[in-house]
Structure 1
Amino acid sequence: MNVLVPYITRWSGEDTAPFRIVARRNGIGYADETLGERDSRGILWTRTPSRHGQGKPVFGQIHGPRQRRAMRNLLCQVCAGPADQSTDGVLWILQDQRADWPGWPNRMGVTEPPICLPCAELSARLCPALRRGRVLVRAGAHPLAGVLGTQYRPRLGTPVKTETGLVTFDSPHIRWTLAAQLFRELDNCTILETP
C-alpha cells in the first residue's frame, strides 16, 4: 500500500544530532558553528540532515530545510511542484479558524507552505488535522515575514531557552532565535469553497 507523504514531512532518518548553543556578541550561535548555518540575514537555522525517504515518515513533524524551500519558492507543500496561482493570488489550505477574528486570515502568519489544487483535494481527504474543518484561501499578498523558532535569552555563559513562536525579521529577538521554519503573512485573502 502506497502512503502519500507530503514533501515537507520529516522522516525518521532525519533526526537532528545533538548540538550546543552559546552566546555570541549579538545573539546565539553553535559552539562549533560552520559556514552555511546562517542565512543571508544572519539568522541561525536548526541543523537538520536531509535524508528524504529514509526511515519512516513522521507525520505532523516538519522538515525545516524542505519547508524553507517550499515557502521561499511558493512550492506545493505536498508534491513540491508549483503552488496554484491565479489573479486572486496563491492557494493555501488552512484549518478553518474564521471565528478567531473578523477578517481572518488577513494579517495571519502561516508556516504551512502553499498548495496546488490536486494536492489540496487529496489533503482534504487524507490529512487528520484538516478533517476537523478546512478552507481554501487565495492570498493576493503573502510576503516572507519571519521565522518560527526557539528564542533564547542571555545568561552567564550559556543562553537559556524562553519560548517557541513566530519572530519577525525586524524583531530584536531574531538574533536570539534558533530558526526552524519560515513564515509568510497572508493578506488580501479570498476564502474559497471547502474542497
Structure 2
Amino acid sequence: MSTAVPTQFTWKGKTVPYIAPWTGEIREQPRLERRPLHKGGGIAYVDEHRLYDRHAGILWQRMGAVRGAGTPILAGVNSRRQRQAMDRQLCQVCGVTTYGRADGRHLYLLAEQKGRPIVEGEQTASPPIHQACAAEALRDCPHLHEGAVAALVERPEPWGVAGMLHDPASLAPRPSAQRGGLTFLPYTSLRLLWTVAHLDVVSLHGCTSVNLDELLALTA
C-alpha cells in the first residue's frame, strides 16, 4: 500500500491525472513473433525483455515511466501506472492511496452515457478515485460530460486485462468494437496468449450507488 504523495502536474490550469501518459513516455511497439510452445506459445516481442514486458505471464504494451516528460495526453492512459493504480488502489487522478475511509470502501467513477448504475460484478479498467478528485474529474474530463456513474465498492477483485487481440495466423491486430478497440479478457482465457495487454481490469463487489449531485455538493 503506497502512502507517498506523487508530484502533481497541471496543464493549462487543469490537473494532469496520475494515469495520463506524456508524449515522452510513448514507446514504439516492437514487432511480434510466435513464441515456441516450450516457452508457453502465443505471441512475444522479437526483442522481449523478460523482466519488463510481461506481468503474470501476460505480454504488456511497452510504455515509459517519466511523468512530466513532454506534453500530457489527457485522453490516454499510461499502462504501467494504470496497472499500479489497480494493484495498489491508488487514485487515478492524484496517485495517492484510496485506503483510509472509515467504512473501508473505495469510490469508483465510470463513464456511462446511458446512466446505467454500477452493478455487482461489474468489470472496469478505471482505477479508484478520491471524492474531491472525482468532483474535479467530473468538471474537467470531456468523456465524463457525456455521462457518468459512481459507486462505493467494498471489494475490487482481480479479473483480467483489456488488450489488443491478434490473429494467431497472421499476427495482425483484431480490434474490438469497444472503446479503443480493446478486448476484455478474464485471466482464464486462452486468448490471452494472443493478446498484448493495455489495461488491468477488476470486478467490483459490494457496490453502493453514489448520487453525483450529492458528491459534487460535498466537495463544493
Fold match by TM threshold 0.5: yes
Q: Specify which of 95, 101, 113 is matched with residue 111 of structure 2.
A: 95
Does structure 1 residue 8 correspond to structure 2 residue 19? yes
The normalised TM-score by structure 1 is: 0.89
Task: For CA contacts below 8 A with separation 6 or more, give which structure has more relative contact order.
Answer: 1
Q: How far apart are 1:105 and its partner, in Å?
A: 2.7
Residue matched to 1:57: 72
Q: 1:94 to 1:112 in 2, by over 3 A?
A: same
Checking the alignment, whether the CA contact within 8 Å between 1:136 and 1:191 is kept in structure 2 is yes
| Matches of 2:130 and 2:141, distance apart in 1 | 15
Q: Partner residue of 1:117?
A: 131
- 1:47 and 1:96 map into 2 onto residues whose CA distance is 28
Alignment partners' CA distance in 2, 1:177 and 1:153? 9
- Quick check: which one's strand share is greater? 1
Q: Distance in 2 between matches of 1:20 and 1:138?
A: 41
Gaps of 5+ in 1: none
Which piece of structure 1 moves more, 87-96 or 166-175? 87-96
Q: Relative to 1, partners in 2 of residues 1:113 and 1:104: Cα closer, same or farther, differing over 3 Å?
A: closer
Letter aligned with residue 141 of structure 1? R
Label 1:46 to 1:92 Cα distance change in 2 as closer, same or farther (>3 A): same
In structure 1, the residue corresponding to 2:74 is in which secondary structure?
Answer: strand
TM-score, reference length from structure 2? 0.80
Supply the RMSD in Å over aligned alpha carbons. Answer: 1.9
- How many aligned positions are there? 190
Q: Which residue of 2 aligns with 1:31?
A: 46
2:121 to 102, 107, 130: 107
Given that residues 98 and 104 in structure 1 are in contact (C-alpha distance below 8 angstroms), is that contact kept between their aligned partners in structure 2?
A: no
Within 5 Å, give how 1:1-195 maps onto structure 2: 2-24=13-35, 25=37, 26-36=41-51, 37-39=53-55, 41-83=56-98, 85-87=101-103, 89-96=105-112, 100=116, 104-155=118-169, 158-163=170-175, 164-194=182-212, 195=216
CA change 1:161–1:86 in 2 (3 A) is farther
In structure 2, what is the Cα distance between the partners aligned to 1:57 and 1:129? 16
Amino acid at match of 1:105: V
SS at match of 2:185: strand
Identity of aligned pairs, percent?
A: 31
**1:121-167: CA deviation from partner (whole Å, max 9, x where unpaired):** 21121111122332321112210101110112322xx5222233111
Deviations 1:73-132 (CA, angstroms, capped at 9, x unpaired): 0000000001264537211112245655xx743222111100011111211211111223
Q: Which ranges of structure 2 fall in alignment gaps of 5 or more residues? A: 1-11, 176-181
Residues 91 and 116 in structure 1, CA contact (< 8 A), matched pair in contact too: yes
